[in-house]
Chains A and B, each alone.
Chain A
Amino acid sequence: MEIKKITRLSILLSLSIVLSIVESLIPIFNGIIPGLKIGLANIAIMIALYAYGIKEAVFVSIARIFIVGILRTGLFNITFFFSISGAIFSLIAMFIFKKIKIFSIIGVSIIGSIFHTIGQILIAILFVKNANILYYLPVLILFAVPTGLLIGYISKKSLTNFLEKK
């Protein structure tokens, strides 16, 4: 791997970590609907996905979860598995939809956001062993649409800058 790429991925990784921490400090949605997040860290992952590819996106995403886990929320607890499962679901979905090229980066971001929610709900169901949580899904998906849109839009803007300097 060339040094430039390593540096750029490290920058993306640090960016995603900082964004996670920033987001956890502004709990605007906290309490309205549990589990609701904007997912700012996804900006870095979207950039990695579009500037490089799925492998790099997986690296940034998973490394971010581990590092945030070590720094703040702890490893291998519920929050951790929550993040992992959401990340895996959204990465797979974004990879597929990016491949079939029917949506732009914004559409892919919305899809990623929705599947992030689905992954988290599924792990929650496994954890509390109670499928009643499924009732949450429509509301959460409804909120995933605008947040996905927002993240997609920011990613699109940043990506142009990122690629220009590449």
Chain B
Amino acid sequence: MNKNDKLLIVFLVPILLIILLLFKLTSVKSNKVANVYYENQVILTIDLSGEEQDYNVKGYNGNVKIKAGNGKIKVVEETSEKHLCSKQGYIKESYETIVCLPNKIVIKITSNNDLDATL
């Protein structure tokens, strides 16, 4: 390993850590809602303040079952080869994303800006 290799690591790792720290600090604390996208369309918005409940949306390969509430959300069941997105488990921060690639489903947590509802 030469000097430049070390510099690369010394430079890169802190920057990435700072970015992640910023994500963490700016993460939404209250009024959390989860947007469920199919491609770039929001197909379902779930208020995460309520009790935990099951939701079903249509993905590319068929039904995608989602469990959401109490500030967190996860994919329970979906049709794919590796089941990466159902293995991922819960996300609860706004910098986390669930990606069900084969199903073209993306789940992201955001704030609803103190709004009681949007339409």
Contact = CB atoms under 8 A, between A and B. Distances in A.
A130 B37 contact: yes
B104 A135 contact: no
A131 B20 CA distance: 18
B13 interface: yes
B23 interface: yes
| Chain A at the B interface: SS class | helix
B44 interface: no
B23 A138 contact: yes
Contact of A31 (B16, B88, B97): B88
Contacts of A133: 97, 99, 106
Interface string B29-70: 000000001011000000000000000000000000000000
B115 interface: no
Interface stretch (A8-16, A43-51, A102-110): A102-110
Interface in A24-76: 30-31, 33-35
Interface residues of B, number: 33
Interface size grouping (class) on chain A? 20 to 34
A104 B88 CA distance: 36
B8 A103 contact: yes
Contact of B20 (A31, A138, A145): A138
A136 B99 contact: yes
A33 B13 CA distance: 18
Contact of B108 (A35, A111, A132): A132
B9 interface: yes
Given A31-B87, A34-B84, A138-B20, A129 B39 contact: yes
20 contacts: A30-B84, A31-B84, A34-B87, A34-B99, A34-B101, A103-B2, A103-B5, A103-B8, A104-B5, A107-B4, A110-B9, A124-B99, A128-B105, A130-B106, A133-B99, A135-B108, A136-B97, A136-B99, A139-B20, A145-B13
Interface of A: 30-31, 33-35, 78-79, 102-104, 106-107, 110-111, 124, 127-133, 135-136, 138-139, 141-142, 145, 149, 153
